[in-house]
Amino acid sequence: MPPTRNHRGDRRGRGGDNRRPGGPRRTGRPQDLVRRTAFDVVRAVQDRDAYANLLLPRKLADRELTGRDAALATELTYGTLRGLGTYDAILALCSDRELRRVDDELLDVLRLGAHQILATRIPPHAAVGTAVDLARSVSGPGQAKFANAVLRKVATRDLDGWLEIIAPDDADETTRLSLVHSHPGWIVDAMRDALGADRAEIGDLLAADNARPRVTLVARPGRATLEELYEAGAGPASHAPTAAVLPEGDPSAIAAVREGRAAVQDEGSQLVALALAEAPLEGRDERWLDIAAGPGGKAGLLSAIATRRGARLLAADLQPHRAALVGHAVDERAGVIVADGTAPAWRPAAFDRIMLDAPCTGLGALRRRPEARWRRGPGSVPELAALQRRLLARALEAVRPGGVVAYVTCSPHLAETRVVLDDVLAGRDDVERLDSPAVLRTVAPELTGVGDGPWAQLWPHRHGTDAMFLALLRRR
């Protein structure tokens, strides 16, 4: 069941509360501010398509929430966004109104309350009480009574008890998995298809999407070292030789991160960039290109490696603000331009190594962007796949004979990965598919479970990374 969204125009608070315009009502109690902060982010995601991973840190800083208060606000925000589909199914059984008739603001309060009751250690009576207080603040006393009645019903069972009702064992597999793991049904089907022969792992994969991801750092070669990150409190990562894991604390408190010599970057993202850098070439190795480089994670790593080898990276992005972010990530030897990869600003056959991290549905990063599962529908896939095919065709024109293109997506969806490759390469005899798993093993020798080639697929439930897809293509 997808989350219910109500788009009626009146979004004003009810009951004559004394909220400050544009901000939470100040009650003097930190816990009120914690919950109001989570509510404000969830509401912005639902109402304005905001990105929680960008908005929440700003809210926490503006409201001076740190430590346990910041951790609780983060859990309430991300947990609610992950669980929308499951919570809406439960709330629908506990409400005497159809959810589409519940005001947007109040519905998000109910979702936050359901998450507190069913998925945190907060005692149910306290979870109900704080949610009712929040409902009174944003919707007035009359709606607070409704919230109290609904959430008291939610609290009559634990999550497993509700799942037995909304997702019984005799339900069809897609429906049951969709409700148990709070994923839209079309994503469940797409993930199962991408697993192929390993489709029995679908439950583990969906569960991994709902697990809190580790904070992974990259030590950009020649600019920072793993030892420096370890001394700052990080520990070893699982696979990438450039990666470290920060178990707790603020990454920006680390000097190397503040100075741009290190950064927060998923380990899968690091691995595919390292694989491009290690892919076997024929001939010179001097000019590298990142076609859709924003916001700059892979470009930052590639530019550091290129500089150490005496090569130079050119990073391009269509959006000026994303190109600006890339400029902060790369070193001084790299070039950054605003350019459309489908209408190249460079000569054909000009580059030795090319990174194409193609725009995609982002289904591989649902751990870090939980709202993405509700933001797109299956209708978005054909449009994105058409763009991916155009970008890949242009990338193959831009690489010289003997050079290598890395086609990367943060999505395992077959229509965005193998189908794109097959469509673009059909009838071409000038492109060789390299053994991507073998190249990855030169970077991370103990890495397994990425496929038998020629493409490679990383998985959250196997590798603890985003579900990054990698295909290495060499022009003959």
Annotated catalytic sites, by residue?
410
Q: How far apart are CA 42 and CA 25, in angstroms?
A: 17
Q: What is the CA radius of gyration of the chain?
A: 24
